[in-house]
């Protein structure tokens, strides 16, 4: 069951070849982070233009590394949403053409499903669990019954957690992308020094909000701060985000009677989140699963893994299927 997968939902140009659920034949990524850093964020037109330039090389590199011919593929998959429309079109169109040329099925994979399944990479069965998908573009909480059976419990009402990290980093002059730099500085800071709000912590539901926290940081910074304060500011902000993410994820596990909590997406690599979630899991008797290294940020291997589950379930998608730039829970959930 050899699958070539393509991911171009944002600013990573990626291709991977997966055999079955666990045999990685190729895993290639070209990151445009350096290109977009001069703009302070992702520019859709620049992203799509670079996908057009680099995708043929990345796909050919993945194919040659895997040692397979296009005619030997069992399926070609691509991310069809959510994401930047112009960027999605590049990858989806290429995958459809390759599938037609190879005479094999095309599989349209939801980007969120790729993240959601990634903590179980290599496994043929997806166990019941609570899944927190937390990235630059999304903060979503699901109750997962099995592959293909996802119930959306909560989502951010405004900024995604990763977006808040990047915006606060920009306020602090840390550049783009800034989430990793906030994490680095926070390690030497005091998370209790500055009292910052925990949005929707006691809302009684599983939704999130980070815009108020971001505004609180901005108001605080307008009063003036020194470079020596940076570690404490980063640590205090980071802990405010982490407290809410961990609390809601584990409350959901208790409410739904789940014994496993998974965390995926770029923010799941944050050291404070991983530490706090691990401590909470040990205290609660919950099994905690994180997306493995290399599968947290956008990549094609998680798309190939999700596609493997679709192929095993007998799914086939017409090449006429359209991209879906906006996240549509109805297209993914029960």
Mean pLDDT per 10-residue segment, the chain (334 residues): 96 96 97 78 87 97 96 96 96 98 96 98 98 95 97 96 94 87 96 96 97 95 92 98 98 98 97 98 98 95 98 96 92 74
Q: Integer distance in angstroms from the first to the last C-alpha of the chain? A: 27
pTM: 0.95
3-state secondary structure of 314: coil
Amino acid 66: pLDDT: 97
Amino acid 238: pLDDT: 98
Structure tokens at 174: 């840390």
Q: How far is CA 309 from CA 256, 266, 303, 312, 334, in A?
A: 24, 22, 10, 5, 16
* CB 91 within 8 Å of CB 22: no
Amino acid 43: pLDDT: 84
Only one residue has tokens 């405010």, namely 240
Q: How far is CA 94 from the centre of its chain?
A: 22
- Domains delineated in the chain: 2-117+295-332 (3.30.420.40), 128-290 (3.30.420.40)
* CB 113 within 8 Å of CB 102: no
As a whole number of angstroms, the distance between CA 114 and CA 121 comes to 10
């Amino acid at each position: 069951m050899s699958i070539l997968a393509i991911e171009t939902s944002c600013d990573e140009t990626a291709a991977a070849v997966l055999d079955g659920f666990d045999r990685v034949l190729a895993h290639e990524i070209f990151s445009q982070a350096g290109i977009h850093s001069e703009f302070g964020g992702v520019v859709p037109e620049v992203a799509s233009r670079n996908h057009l330039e680099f995708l043929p090389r990345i796909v050919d590199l993945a194919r040659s590394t895997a040692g397979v011919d296009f005619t030997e593929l069992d399926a070609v998959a691509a991310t069809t949403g959510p994401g930047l429309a112009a960027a999605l079109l590049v990858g989806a169109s290429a995958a459809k053409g390759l599938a037609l040329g190879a005479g094999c099925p095309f599989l349209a994979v939801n980007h969120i499903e790729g993240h959601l399944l990634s903590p179980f990479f290599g496994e043929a069965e997806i166990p019941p669990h609570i899944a927190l998908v937390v990235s630059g573009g999304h903060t979503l909480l699901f109750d997962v019954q099995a592959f293909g059976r996802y119930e959306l419990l909560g989502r951010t009402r405004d900024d995604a957690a990763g977006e808040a990290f990047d915006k606060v980093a920009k306020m602090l002059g840390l550049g783009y992308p800034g989430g990793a730099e906030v994490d680095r500085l926070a390690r030497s800071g005091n998370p209790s020094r500055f009292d910052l709000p925990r949005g929707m912590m006691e809302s009684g539901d599983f939704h999130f909000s980070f815009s108020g926290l971001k505004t609180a940081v901005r108001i605080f910074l307008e009063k003036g701060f020194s470079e020596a304060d940076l570690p404490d500011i980063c640590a205090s902000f980071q802990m405010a985000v982490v407290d809410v993410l961990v609390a809601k994820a584990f409350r959901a596990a208790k409410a739904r009677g789940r014994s496993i909590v998974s965390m995926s997406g770029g923010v799941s690599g944050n050291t404070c989140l991983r530490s706090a979630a691990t401590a909470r899991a040990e205290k609660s008797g919950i099994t905690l699963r994180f997306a493995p290294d290399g599968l947290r940020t956008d990549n094609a291997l998680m798309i190939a893994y999700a596609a493997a589950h679709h192929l095993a379930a007998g799914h086939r998608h017409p090449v006429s299927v359209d991209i879906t730039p906006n996240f549509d829970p109805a297209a993914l959930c029960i």
